[in-house]
Amino acid sequence: METWSGFYKRPLEERRRLVAEHAGLDEEEAGLLFAGSALPVGLAERFVENVVGVFPLPLGIALHFVVDGSPVLVPMAVEESSVVAAASHAAKWARATGGFRTEVMDPVTIGQVEVRDLADPRAAAEVVRREAAAWRVVLDASIPAMVERGGGVRDVVPRIVGDRLVVHLHLDTRDAMGANVTNRLCEALAPLVVGAVGGRPGLRILSNLATERLATARCTVPAEAVGGPRVVRAMVEANDLARIDPYRAATHNKGILNGVDPVVVATGNDWRAVAAGAHAYAALDGAYRGLTEYVATPEGDLEASVTLPLSLGTVGGVTSLHPVARVALKVLGDPDARRLAAVVASVGLAQNLAAVRALSGEGIQRGHMALHARNLALQAGLAGEAAEAAARRMVEEGRVNATRARELASD
């Protein structure tokens, strides 16, 4: 990984060249990745309504990630300062002990078919259990291409929710996120269910609480990497608070998503669905909790893990249409859906580790203040080393504000 040493200090053109060489990008792909906006307005009109333009985001590369033994460069589309640097920094801690180890379930999406006005939902659930195998055959026959790729209906499961029956369709969508095909099969399943149990069909749509698509990432962080056993203990205690206090858990989980969402965005996936699923999973037992587990080892090192539902795809939809998303996937090594989930979970854990370390050590505001000072210097019209020098001076003086930035710019 020596190639990436001091990457952030290198000129922009050199950073671009290194990434292009690493990913094997041709001239056209490199042009797409490095353009100010590679999304033509005409293509944007195919995505949403009432288009008047496009809104570019900075695209950074997170470094030092090793996931299941393989190094990977991680594209992150995000506007928030420090996110890419923090994830890279924590990935270096984990790399010292082999990187991130993951467990990822098969890409099974859940669809829901609701049935209302049933006299006996429990009896209806028994009918569903008896008919499930036959319904699987019928539904699989309608998606032969997906079945050929190894996907298809895995189960049909009844649930009683209040006085209603909700039938879950478990569909292995392979490398597609699978929303459209899941919704289509829910529509096809509904009349089969109602015909067998009676009642009135209600909602027929996928669920973003993808408990059949869980991804777990784990790593070991050496105590000396974060400041010693005392800091490890403080980080464990901070995580413990997120497990019992929803006010802390909301911010803690937002820190995880600070890492997750930029990768999801960069690869053309649905970050809103991922965020909704993560927050719902955090409250699955009825209390909203932090999604990570931190444990201090007998040697004083930190064992950390995160588990969250990740409905991600590497084919179809915006992932296939957006030119930068396609190149971002190439930078990632052209992963399948499970590999992408492994990487995304690892980045989420890394980002959380960096945030909790900052909170447990010098405090998160110190780093944020330096970044805020730099932004103020840029807004005041300074650039390059002049902006960095002004930022350092504002922090040293303890006067990080727009007025002081303008004063320094006018000197």
| Domain final position from 141, 175, 206 | 206
Same domain for 299 and 353: yes
DSSP per position, 330-398: HHTTS--HHHHHHHHHHHHHHHHHHHHHHHHTT-HHHHHHHHHHHHHHHHTT--HHHHHHHHHHHHHHT
Give the count of domains, the chain.
Answer: 3
Amino acid 44: pLDDT: 86
For residue range 195-247, list pLDDT tens digits in order. Answer: 999 999 999 999 999 999 999 999 999 999 999 999 999 999 999 999 999 99
Q: Which residues of 75-101 are buried (b: 16+ CB within 10 A; e: fewer)?
A: bbbbeebbbbbbbbbbbbbbbebebbb
Same domain for 221 and 268: yes
For residue range 24-40, list pLDDT tens digits in order. Answer: 999 999 888 877 677 78
Q: Tell me the CATH number at 197.
A: 3.30.70.420
- pLDDT exceeds cutoff 70 at 366: no
> From residue 8, how far is each of 60, 88, 89, 391 by CA, in Å?
10, 11, 12, 17
Amino acid 387: pLDDT: 86
Q: Residue 4 domain-assigned?
A: no
Same domain for 389 and 299: no
For residue range 255-303, list pLDDT tens digits in order. Answer: 999 999 999 999 999 999 999 999 999 999 999 999 999 999 999 999 9
Q: Which residues of 222-261 are buried (b: 16+ CB within 10 A; e: fewer)?
A: bbebbeebebbbbbbebbeebbeeeebbeebbbbbbbbbb
Cα–Cα distance between 157 and 113 in angstroms, integer? Answer: 10
Q: Residue 2 domain-assigned?
A: no
What token pair was written down for 385? 């080393």
Q: Give the H/E segment covering residue 90.
A: helix 83-95
Catalytic residues: 80, 254, 270, 368
Cα–Cα distance between 55 and 12 in angstroms, integer? Answer: 21
| Domain final position from 328, 344, 361 | 361
Same domain for 232 and 94: yes
Amino acid 218: pLDDT: 98
Same domain for 314 and 197: no
Amino acid 388: pLDDT: 85
Q: Residue 149 domain-assigned?
A: yes
pTM (2 d.p.): 0.89
Local structure of residue 116 (DSSP, 8 states): E
Domain of residue 396, residue span? 366-410
DSSP per position, 264-300: HHHTT--HHHHHHHHHHHHTTTSS---SEEEEE-TTS
| Domain final position from 174, 206, 238 | 206
153 or 369: which carries more pLDDT confidence?
153
Q: Tell me the CATH number at 70.
A: 3.90.770.10
Question: Which band of pLDDT confidence, cut at 50, 70 and 90, is reported for residue 105?
Answer: very high
Amino acid 203: pLDDT: 98
Same domain for 219 and 284: yes
DSSP E strands in 68-199: the ranges are: 70-77, 101-104, 108-116, 152-161, 164-172
- CB-CB contact of 84 with 351 (8 Å): no
Question: Which band of pLDDT confidence, cut at 50, 70 and 90, is reported for residue 367?
Answer: low
For residue range 50-69, list pLDDT tens digits in order. Answer: 988 888 899 999 999 999 99
Mean pLDDT of 363-370: 58
For residue range 156-205, list pLDDT tens digits in order. Answer: 999 999 999 999 999 999 999 999 999 999 999 999 999 999 999 999 99
Q: Residue 41 domain-assigned?
A: no
Cα–Cα distance between 274 and 29 in angstroms, integer? Answer: 27
Amino acid 361: pLDDT: 75
